[in-house]
Structure 1
Amino acid sequence: MDWQTLAQQLFPLGHQITETDAFLSGSATVGATTVAVIGTTNHTPIGVEIALAQARAVLVTVRDFPQRPILILVDTQGQRLRHRDEMLGINSYMAHLGKCIALARQSGHRVIALVYDQALSGGFITSGLMADACYALPAATIRVMGLPAMARITKVPEERLIALAKDNPVFAPGPENYVRMGGVQAIWDGDLATSLITALADADPLDRRSALGLERGGRKMALPVSQRVMNDGDAGQA
């Protein structure tokens, strides 16, 4: 789904979203609330320029519109793999974006992310996964790494990874598997405007992804391990 069609369904009361070099920004009306909209389109890779543009838009919202909700529209093929971006320290730019979203949440902004097309690797981690809650459309493509690339990196045969992906959502792409792992709160299929209103009302700054992954059977060890680490740390301080 292109972002213009998506915006019409999300914001039947109107929006002022503009696209500049695959970067989306603006505002829209959701019920009786105005929300800031920030995102990307055309499967754009996240390079230093677009990471800074998104970070700037978040900071402007925090400065000029205290506690205004923020909607992040996600469509990216991940971080841009260019020598220039690596030499400039793309990891620092993406970390800066993540910190800006964290600042917005800490400042009382409800932050919702929606994967409406592609969400891959670092471009997704520092945007959609930094929100209070991340949602996805049914046809969205979500993965950290494709299985052929994973096979090359891990030296595990691709056939073995394909077999593992049938039962283990960690290895499998797709929004349903990210719902099982707790990374995606739910899949929106129906009235998108109503889904957004509900998501904003339910937004919780408490990170419950590990708990959701355990409840849904997709990540069985994340919560117990993190709790053990915290308990061991408390015991050490005592």
Structure 2
Amino acid sequence: MDWNTLATTLFGPAHGIAQDGDLLHGHVTFDDAPLAVIGTTNHAPIGVRLALAQARHVLDTIAHHPRRPILLLVDTQGQQLRRRDELLGINRAMAHLGLSIDLARRRGHRVLGLVYDQALSGGFITSGLIADACDALPEAEIRVMRIPAMARVTKLPEALLTELSQSNPVFAPGVANYVAMGGVRQLWRGDLRQALREALAEAPTGDQRAIDGRQRGGRTMAADVIERVLAAP
């Protein structure tokens, strides 16, 4: 689903969300209450300029609209792989975006992520995954690394990783596997306005991903390790 169709479905044809290149931003009315919308489109590669632009809109919302909920629309191919962005400090720009979203949460803004198209690697980690909750449309594509790239990094055969991906969500791309691991809280099916309404009302303010992953069988050890670390003297 393209962003404008999604926005029209959620907020009506006069939604007020603007597209500036690969950047989406605007303030809409949902159930008679204001909502800030910030996101990306066109499978955007997140470089220094785009990361800082998103962070600017998050910080402006914090400054001028205290406690206003924020919806992050995610469609990204990951970080921009260019020498220029590396030299300009893409790692610091993306960290700034993540910290801005975290600041919004700490200042009382309910922050929701919605993967409506594609979400890959660092571009996803520093946006939707830092929200109070990250949901997705069923047709969305989510992955951190393709199996061939994973094989090069881990030095394990592709055939072995492919076999592991059949039974272990950690090794497999796909939105259903991210639901199983707890990275994605739930899929929005049917009435999208009702799904947003429920997400705004029910999304947790604490990090529940490890607990969800344990309950769903996708990440069986993460929550136990976290609990042991927190209980250590």
Counterpart residue number, 2:94? 94
Aligned AA for 1:124?
Answer: F
The alignment's C-alpha RMSD in Å is 0.9
Cα displacement string for residues 13-64 of structure 1 (whole angstroms, at most 9, x for unaligned residues):
7411011111000011211211000000000100000000000000000000
State how 1:31-180 maps to structure 2 within 5 Å. 31-180=31-180
Counterpart residue number, 2:17? 17
Provide TM-score, normalisation by structure 2: 0.98
Counterpart residue number, 2:219? 219
Q: Unaligned regions of 5+ residues in structure 1, if any?
A: none
Q: C-alpha distance in 2, partners of 1:166/1:12? A: 41
The structural deviation recorded for 1:151 is: 1.0
Q: Unaligned regions of 5+ residues in structure 2, if any?
A: none
Aligned AA for 1:202?
Answer: E
Cα displacement string for residues 103-135 of structure 1 (whole angstroms, at most 9, x for unaligned residues):
000101000010001100000000000000000
Aligned AA for 1:59?
Answer: L
How many percent identity over aligned positions?
61
Aligned AA for 2:220?
Answer: K
The structural deviation recorded for 1:179 is: 0.6
Q: Structure 1 segments of 4 or more deviating over 4 A?
A: none
Q: C-alpha distance in 2, partners of 1:14/1:170? A: 41
1:13 and 1:30 in contact (8 A); partners too: no
Query: What is the DSSP-based 3-state SS (H/G/I as helix, E as strand, rest coil) of the residue aligned with 2:78?
Result: coil
Q: C-alpha distance in 1, partners of 2:132/2:33? A: 18
Query: What is the DSSP-based 3-state SS (H/G/I as helix, E as strand, rest coil) of the residue aligned with 2:81?
Result: coil
Q: C-alpha distance in 2, partners of 1:41/1:96? A: 20
1:12 and 1:193 in contact (8 A); partners too: no
Counterpart residue number, 2:202? 202
Provide TM-score, normalisation by structure 1: 0.96
Counterpart residue number, 2:3? 3
The structural deviation recorded for 1:206 is: 0.8
The structural deviation recorded for 1:231 is: 1.7
Q: C-alpha distance in 2, partners of 1:13/1:80? A: 32
Q: C-alpha distance in 2, partners of 1:13/1:203? A: 26
